[in-house]
Structure 1
Amino acid sequence: MNYSIGEFSRLINISIYALRYYENENLIIPNREKNGRRCYSEKDVSWIQFIKRLKDTGMPIKEIQKYAKLRAAGDFTMNERMEMLIKHRTALEEKIAKYNEHLKKLNDKIDYYKVSIDKHLQD
């Protein structure tokens, strides 16, 4: 199925402005109809969802651009793309570990307050 820019925008929950920005940054290259209008496919849906995931997990836009360029170049870049994703995964795992440690410390402090408050109420 093919989508106009408006349909695609609603489907993936990204503004038309953001889609045009992504196109400007060469993150997505939509097909064009004979009249020049953008035309998006199901492959574009999964690609944009992947871009959003990379962005949401903290990959810098320059790295996403590099990945997109490699993807557009073809399958012979698969090793390099995989290495990029492995590197990003490692950085993400480190962040998650750090956030889990922060969460543990916050929970410890909350537990401390609960015990202290309960103790003061019983006195």
Structure 2
Amino acid sequence: MHDYTIDEAAERTGLSKHTLRYYERERLLPPIAKASSGHRRYTDDDIGWVKFLQLLRATGMPIREAKEFVTLTWAGDHTIPQRVEVLTGYRAALVERMAQDVEHLEALNRKIGFYEDVLVAQDATPERVTGERAAVG
């Protein structure tokens, strides 16, 4: 098992030291151990918690709800049904957003295709062909 300084934890998670301290202050993380110097020492488990919080936040979960979820987790296995319910709701919302993103991507692809067709048609106009021949000849 490794332990990491706050700089190393920030590098491993992609979060700022400020955000890591904020997560700790807000009790989104278990208590972080400290070295005899008083400096924080993050474990692999702590890094795992941070990455899970990043996942929750990426689903659109606000900090307030992430705190509630963490509280449920720390309360014990009897809260698993509630946790499944929370995560299922965010999964459904994520699936819906993904479907919308696919629709948006398809619309953009159609528009790009339209514009590319216009550009191809412009290149094939008689004025272009005559101008090209004059330049080549």
- What TM-score, normalized by structure 2, do the two folds share? 0.80
The structure-2 alpha-carbon separation of the partners of 1:39 and 1:69, relative to structure 1 and needing over 3 Å to count, comes to: same
The alpha-carbon deviation at position 15 of structure 1 amounts to 1.5
| Larger RCO, structure (CA 8 Å, separation 6 or more) | 1
Q: How many residues get paired?
A: 123
For the residue of structure 1 that corresponds to 2:3, the secondary structure is: coil
Moved over 6 A (4+): none
> For 1:114 and 1:80, how far apart are their aligned partners in 2?
51
Instruction: Tell me the residue number matched to 2:116.
Output: 114
The alpha-carbon deviation at position 37 of structure 1 amounts to 4.0
Instruction: Tell me the residue number matched to 1:16.
Output: 17
Identity %: 37
Deviations 1:57-77 (A, max 9, x none): 322222211111111111111
> For 1:113 and 1:72, how far apart are their aligned partners in 2?
55
AA at the equivalent of 1:100: V
1:104 paired to 2:96: no
AA at the equivalent of 1:103: L
Structure 1: gaps spanning 5 or more residues: none
> For 1:9 and 1:29, how far apart are their aligned partners in 2?
16
The alpha-carbon deviation at position 12 of structure 1 amounts to 2.0
Contact 2:53 2:66 in 1 (8 A): yes
The alpha-carbon deviation at position 50 of structure 1 amounts to 1.1
1:2 paired to 2:3: yes
Structure 2: gaps spanning 5 or more residues: 126-137
> For 2:111 and 2:55, how far apart are their aligned partners in 1?
32
The structure-2 alpha-carbon separation of the partners of 1:101 and 1:110, relative to structure 1 and needing over 3 Å to count, comes to: same
> For 1:118 and 1:108, how far apart are their aligned partners in 2?
15
Q: Pick the structure with greater CA Rg.
A: 2
